[in-house]
Each structure stands twice: as structure tokens, then as C-alpha cells.
A and B are shown apart, each in its own frame.
Chain A
Amino acid sequence: MPFNDHYVIIGNGPAGNHAAATLREKDKDAKITIISDECVPFYYKPKLTEFISGTLKKEKLMVNTLESYEEKDIRIRLGQTVEKIDPDTKSIFLKHMEKMDYTKLIIASGGRQRVLPSMTSFEEHLKFVTSYSDVMEYKEQIKKAKDFFIIGGDLVGFRFLRMLRTIGKNVSIMIYPNAFWPYNLTDEMLDKITKRLSKYTPDVIVKDDISSIESHKNGTYQVATSKGLEKKVDMVFSFNGLMPNIDFAKGTGIDIDHGILVDEYLKSNIDSIYACGSCAQIYNPTIKNYTVSIGWPNAVTQGKVAALNVLGDQKIIKSVGRKYFDMEGAMIKTTWWEDIDDES
């Protein structure tokens, strides 16, 4: 029996799916497997808020159907969690105690919710909108609830706030300057954002901190701030950006810092392992530094480039997409590949 390569991709987001599609396009015979801890095929994560409000149906949220994987002969393993990687034997271990061998591995595991250090003791009371399963868990609860408290305020958080106001909910928001990780909002940016958000809700709180969140038996929460504000709300959401989702790579010999450290070819310190998308911290030889990228277009490009390099190409990654995000009037730098601070 001829030996075919087995390319394993951890992650079913834009980077993982475009890596898989590129691999299939260039190598018709290889076995390609995508592993995802979520139980649904590839979907538009940025559109989850529209899905909650009901303006977007499930069919429109999905990018791929299960059949589309079958058509490309890409094996998709949903609801399976990677526990450990053994680079020496080129194996990954899944939580359900299965061992899977790979020829080359692409890590495209994206991000998970970032909990601010000051919030860890209240984490059990916080809700997040980072996955389809999160949303399915809270969707009905959101419809029934009246009063919401939002902590942080990244792009998704502001979108979520606007959505809640559109469907008639009361929302208080406490903005943290460091919610848009890894960038900190300046006072000027904070003023602009506060002004813009005040159009949607009168309850914009800045330069304060949560001192306690307590749950009541009736399912509501009492939120107290350091400056003495007290709010009784039905749900508390946290939006403080994402952190690379790479716990399974810790202690395996793969270099990690905030994300998986990769060179400009998206290759890690282990020859057979690549990383792309928001879980990768990419070295840029021009600015001589490692940084984590954000945004859908970057993930797509990196997925494609990682796949080509897995197949033997030597493509250097470049930044794509917008250089700035418009955060309610404040322009936040998003490009990681070039120093745009000096640009006018």
C-alpha cells in the first residue's frame, strides 16, 4: 500500500479551513484531517451577535456544510479536543484517549476568551460570546433577560451592546482601556468611544473597576464597582479580546510565548509543526519581533501560506486586510507586520 502523507490541522476556523483547502488543492492523495473541539462546521464567528438577535439564520452563519468537507475528501472531527502533542513520535493525543499520527501538523486553534487578571475571582459569573456553543447556551436566556452588564469592550463587545439595545435591553458597560489586547486605549481614544457609545446607552462607565459580582438565588447578579456603583442585572458578559488557545502545546517542546512562536514561514521550532491565525506569534525579520495577528483576512492568508510551506514552498507571510479597526470612532492599529505608527 502506498504511503500517503497525513496532514493534521488543529482548528476549524478561517486559518484551518483555508490551510486544508490549499493542501487538498496541491496534494490530491494526502490524508487531511481537521480537528475541532466545537460541534459545528466552519462558521462566521464575527457574525455570532447577529445570530443571537435572530437577524441571521443558522444556514447563513455557516461557511461550510459537512458535505463540503466530504467533497474535498477532508476528514472533519468535531467535538474532539487535543490534549497533548508528542513531536518526537509525530503524534497527537485526543482527550478521548485516541492517538493520531501526523506527517505534518498545522496548529490553527485560534483564540479563547481573555479574562482580565482582576476578573478571575468572578469568572464563574461571566458569560462570553466566543463560540457557537456559548451562544446556543445563552440565546434563549438573552431573549428573556432585561438588564445586562458588559465588562471590557472589544469590537465584538460593542457590536453585542448595539445588538442588545436594538432588541430593547438595558445595558451598562464598563470599558477597560486594556480590553483591546494587546493595545491599550489612550485617554483620548477612551473619550471618543465613550461619546459614541453614549448614543446607545446612558450607562457607560470608565475609569472604575469591578469590586464584586455576587449571584442571587433567583439567577440575577449584583455588580459592585470600586467607586461605589451597584447594579442588579440578569446577565454579565465579558469582552476583553481573545488569547491564543494553545494550552495543549505547553510543555511539549514547541516554543510558545503568548502564542506559538513561528518564523516568517509560519514554521515552529519543530520542523513538522506550523502555526497560523490568531494562535500564532509570528516573527517578522523586518521589525525583528514576534507579534500575534488579528482579523479574518490575516487568518485566511496565513492558513494558505502555512499549507504551501508544509508542502515545501518557502513563502514569507505578509499582512493583509485593514490596518486599523474603527472602534466607535477611535482608530486601533491592527497590523502586526509593519510599523505604522509613523504613517500619517
Chain B
Amino acid sequence: MKKNGLYSKEEKLFQDKNKMYSTQSVKQIVYSTDVRDFGQVAKSIPCQEACPAKTNIPGYIRCVYEKRYGRAYEVNRSANILPGVLGRICSRPCESACRHGEPDNGQSVGICHLKRSCADLKPSSHRIIEGLYAPTDKTVAVIGSGPAGLAAAHDLASLGHKVVIYESTDKPGGMLMWGIPEFRLPRDLLMIEIQNILRLGIELKTNTAIGRDITLDQLKKEVDAVVVATGCVSPRMLGVDGEGLENVHNGLEFMMAVNAGQTPYVGDKVVVIGAGFTAVDCARSAIRIGGKDVSLNIRKTIEYMRIDDTEKHEAQFEGIHTHSLVQPSKIIGDGKKVTGVEFQRTRLEEIDTPPFRMSVPIENSEFMVPADSVIAALGQSSNIAAVSKKLGNLKKEGHKTGIKNVFAAGDFVTGSSDVISAIAGGRKCARHIDELLVGEKRKQIVVRCENHATTDRPRSYDFINKVEMNTIAMKKRLSKSTHEVETGYKEKQAREESKRCYLCNLKYEIDPLTCIYCSACIDVAPKDCIKMIKNVPVNSDGTYGEYEETGQWNQVLSIAIDPANCIRCGQCLSVCPMDCISVTKTELIEIDS
């Protein structure tokens, strides 16, 4: 543990205390399938719960702290298969849920940056871990090599099935290759992580589109099952006059051209329409290929933009202006080329079912914005008919389609989402197919519980400021569209940021039979996390509900630590005179059924 003198005196003392505890305690490990334990994990570890792939975030952050970068990478990869990629471009639902970002707790932990650090800092001789099953003699075709297709292919291959991926373009990766700009995701890194998947013996057939080069019926005859994961590639149109003018680009096609090394004409004034990641990628790409006055134009307000705060910040930092509450009513041109956009102002209005704020155009509020080019990035939808008209009736649950043994995964089923959701979808789909092919469930998720004795971190770590990501200078970032903007944490920075994680996978519990109700723990708790409770209701799914608090001693059933508010500071543990507070490490893991 003591490597390169990285630990301070305070940390060493803390570790010695830790060792003392660990030699005194007997490790007990329990693998639980109790619904109450799943409920506790969901409530206790908000980052993991928010992650569609259920990545063990506290687990890998702890590995970064311990300088076990290879292990950290594998903890990540066991859930999300492309850690280096996602460490750069994940939409970060985990960070929005991070307890460190709650009021009074500071800023959320830089989870995504730490994920990238796992990939950046792992040794070059790092060993990829794959739990391979014996060959099954079954073959599965995966249509599409985007994140969902790759995830499904990886899991099916490791489960022993022969997998063939059909990719319509000349390179694998789908949206990762063609939709996301290189300044956010270097292609050499993407190809390394794709190769790590293909190395399982997966055959990749590029320039082969199902529905164009081979029909789905033909393919189905050759294999035992098919996964359709062609994503969402049909752009939504503006539906206004002038859309066909020269220099009016569609967002995805624009990004595909830029990512293919072309420089579509943008001119000086670039009007980007859209509020999602593609719109921001288009705007940031446009400024790199010559746009001088680039604006993002959104129907609603900045609050409703479907991008994370980092993207908002980077766009603003690079000089992109956002105009909210506007929608295009007409594209204006000189008969051939675009010269401007007529916008209407909008206001927000509520629709009741489901409750939702929608934008409504304001009558006679039209105004004109001059433009040399327009990029409409309104999102995409799936093109079911392009694969097969018989597919219809897609089901999210079970990933089934209208055709027997043909499954669907990722954005193709859910509509346009994000990479981590697509990966999670691909993996779930693979589980369903495996069950169909071998006739049994071979994997299951359990809660691994291990007694832990200490907090694993001093309280002073709670006050460390978030470590900002390093970036290249503005001049360099705008000089070429392939210069990666973020350069990653240095090792010391990664370790400093890793200290900030509360380690919410540690569950603190008070043993009511030993507790003498002295309330010393309540007195020292920095948050309102230790409560006098009179009842713990049980939800309809069998999990525990919100604690019912009481201020009356004669009603107190127990003093309890609320896992949803606990910041794992360990203050309660250090003052308890009865040693009645236990710490248990709880992790979701996948084991053989």
C-alpha cells in the first residue's frame, strides 16, 4: 500500500488504525438475493443506481485511490466494456446523482474523469480479464457495431456463442465513430477498445448492411439468433420552408462528414438548431472548421437542454452563444444558398398528461438572423423498415421483435439515448438471447456484503475541492478538429479526486440491541442522517421505505442511520461508546447462477 511516499502522515496513521481493525475482525462475506438488500443498495449508492449499466463506481474510485489502475479499469469494464471511451463522452447521470453534489456537500465527484483515469493510468502491460464460457456451438448475428451492438457481441461471445457483427460502413463504432467528434473521442483509443472486444473471436463484416446487401430473412437462416442494434440514424427534419437550400446541413450528416475528414462549408455565421449533444458537437465542430459567429438556438430554456453541465460550459468557453426560447419558422435564401433564418420567439406552457413543459410559438414574434450556414440537429429516430418491414412491434422488455429469434437492443428500441444506456441495453439483450439459446439463466446479480470495520477515509477528505480536468490551450483546440480538448488527470490529480468519493458502498448500521440510546452519534453527525425512528415502512416491492421519524422518546423504536443522507464520515463510529455501529461493504456483482 505504501507506494512512492504518496501517503501523508495523517493517511498513514489512518491506515495503521485500519490494519488494527482488520486484524481484529473476521471477514464475513454474504451473497444476498434479498430484495431488501437490493433496495438498500439502490438507496445508498445513488451514482451506481443512476448508471444504466450499474457500474460499481465507489469500487473503481477506491481502486484509483489505491493506485490499482488496472483493477479499476476492469471493475469498470465488467459493467460498461468501453471505459476509456465512456471516461470521455459519458452523459454522466452518476454525477448528477452523486451525494457530494447535494446542497452543502460541495460539488459532485468527477466520476467520469476518474473513469478516464483508470484507462489512462493503467499499466501498458495491463491484463484484460474475461470470464469465458465453453463454446456453445450457437451463432448469433449482431447488426450494427455501435455501443449496443458491441456490448451485445462482447457478452454473447464471452458466453461461448459464435458472433458475427454486420456493419454498414467501412469502420466499426457506429455513433462513436461517426457521430462524436474526434476532439472529444480520439479514434485510436476507440479502436483499441473495440479491438479488445473483437479479440474474443468476433467476426466483423464491414460495408455490409442488412436490408441492403443481405436480407434479414437470409441472415436468419444462417444463425441461431439475431440482434438488431442499428441505432437511430434517420434525422428529424425541421419541416420549414427553405430546408432544401444549399448550406443547410442535417446534424448527423454534418458530423459524419467532419468525422470522415471533410470540411463542409459553414461560412462565418453558423446557426445551429437543437438542444442535444449532437447540436453542441456540431456547433463546436463548426467553430473548428472556420465558423466565427456560431450560435445554438433552442426552443426551450437552457435548463431543459439535454446535455451535461460540462458540455454547456465547454460550448460557452469556446465562444458559442445560446439563444433560448426560439424556433425556426423559415430558412431564408437567395434562391440557391441560405442567407438567414427566420425565428419565432417561444414561451413555455404546461401540458398535463404527462406533466411536461412544452414550447409554444408566440404569434407575430418573427425576427431574422443572418446565416451563412444552418445545421439542424434535432435528433434521430430508428429506421425499422430499412432492416425489415416485418420487424415491427418492438418490446423494450425482453428485447423481442415481431420475428422469432430476432431481438433488438440500444437506441433502435428505446429511441435516441446515450452511449451508456445503449451499452446497458446491449448487455441485457445478450442475457435474454443466452437464456433462449442454452435454456437456462447462467448469470445473476447479487449483493455482496462484507464486514468492513472502518470508514476507509478521514473526514478531511470531505473538504477537498473538485479537481478540474486539464485541457489544451484555446488556440490549439480550435486550430484542428482532431485535437483532443481534455488531456486527462495526472496521477496525483486522479488520486486527489478519488479521495473525495464518500464511498457510499459502505453501509453504516446501528445495532438496536446494543445501542444505549445515548444519542452521541446524533450530536456529532454533520448531516441529518441519524434519526430517532418509530417505524420503517415496507414498500410494495418488499424494500424498506422512508424512515418515520419521531421526536418523542416514548415512541422511539430505534436510532437508525439513513443511508440516503449518510455521507460516510465515520463521526458516529468514532464516538459510539458501545461499539454498536457496524460498517458493511455492499456491492452489486454478477455471478454464475
Contacts and interface: CB of A to CB of B under 8 A. Distances in A.
B316 interface: yes
A166 to B, nearest CB: 35
B316 A117 contact: yes
B348 A120 contact: no
Contacts of B354: none
Interface residues of B, number: 24
Interface string B431-475: 000000000000000000000000000000000010010000111
A291 to B, nearest CB: 11
Interface string A174-215: 000000000000000000000000000000000001010000
A255 B345 contact: no
Contacts of A124: 465
Interface stretch (A14-22, A69-77, A282-290): A282-290
A288 B313 CA distance: 28
A326 interface: no
Interface in B326-365: 345, 347-348, 350, 357, 362, 364-365
B96 to A, nearest CB: 11
A272 B265 CA distance: 50
B239 interface: no
Contacts of A97: 528
Interface string B292-322: 0000000001110000000001001100000
Contacts, number: 44
A257 B302 contact: yes
A143 interface: no
A1 B237 CA distance: 61
Contact of A117 (B302, B317, B348, B365): B317
B169 interface: no
Interface in B517-564: 528
Interface residues of A, number: 22
Nearest to B300: A257
A250 interface: yes
A42 to B, nearest CB: 26
Given A255-B301, A255-B357, A290 B348 contact: no
For chain A, what secondary structure do more than half of its interface residues adopt (helix, strand, loop), or is it mixed?
mixed
A250 B317 CA distance: 22
A256 interface: yes
B303 A250 contact: yes
Nearest to B314: A117
A211 B472 CA distance: 11
Contacts of A121: 468
B551 to A, nearest CB: 13
Interface string A70-110: 00000000000001000000000001010000000000000
A269 B348 CA distance: 9
A288 B362 contact: yes
A344 interface: no
B310 to A, nearest CB: 11
A118 interface: yes
Given A124-B465, A250-B303, A261-B301, A289 B345 contact: yes
A289 B313 contact: no
Contact of B345 (A118, A211, A261, A288): A288
Given A95-B103, A121-B468, A124-B465, A290 B325 contact: yes
Contacts of A95: 103-104
Contact of B324 (A226, A250, A257, A288): A257
A277 B303 CA distance: 21
Nearest to B347: A283
A269 B350 contact: yes
A288 B474 contact: no
B473 A117 contact: no
B303 A209 contact: no
Contacts of B350: 269
Contacts of B104: 95
B468 A256 contact: no
Interface of B: 103-104, 301-303, 313, 316-317, 324-325, 345, 347-348, 350, 357, 362, 364-365, 465, 468, 473-475, 528
Interface of A: 83, 95, 97, 117-118, 120-121, 124, 209, 211, 226, 250, 255-258, 261, 269, 283, 288-290
Given A117-B313, A117-B316, A209-B474, 8 more contacts: A83-B103, A95-B103, A118-B317, A121-B468, A257-B301, A257-B324, A261-B347, A289-B365
26 contacts: A83-B103, A95-B104, A97-B528, A117-B316, A118-B317, A118-B474, A120-B468, A209-B474, A211-B473, A226-B473, A226-B474, A226-B475, A250-B303, A256-B301, A257-B301, A257-B302, A257-B303, A257-B324, A258-B324, A261-B348, A269-B350, A283-B347, A288-B345, A288-B362, A288-B364, A289-B365
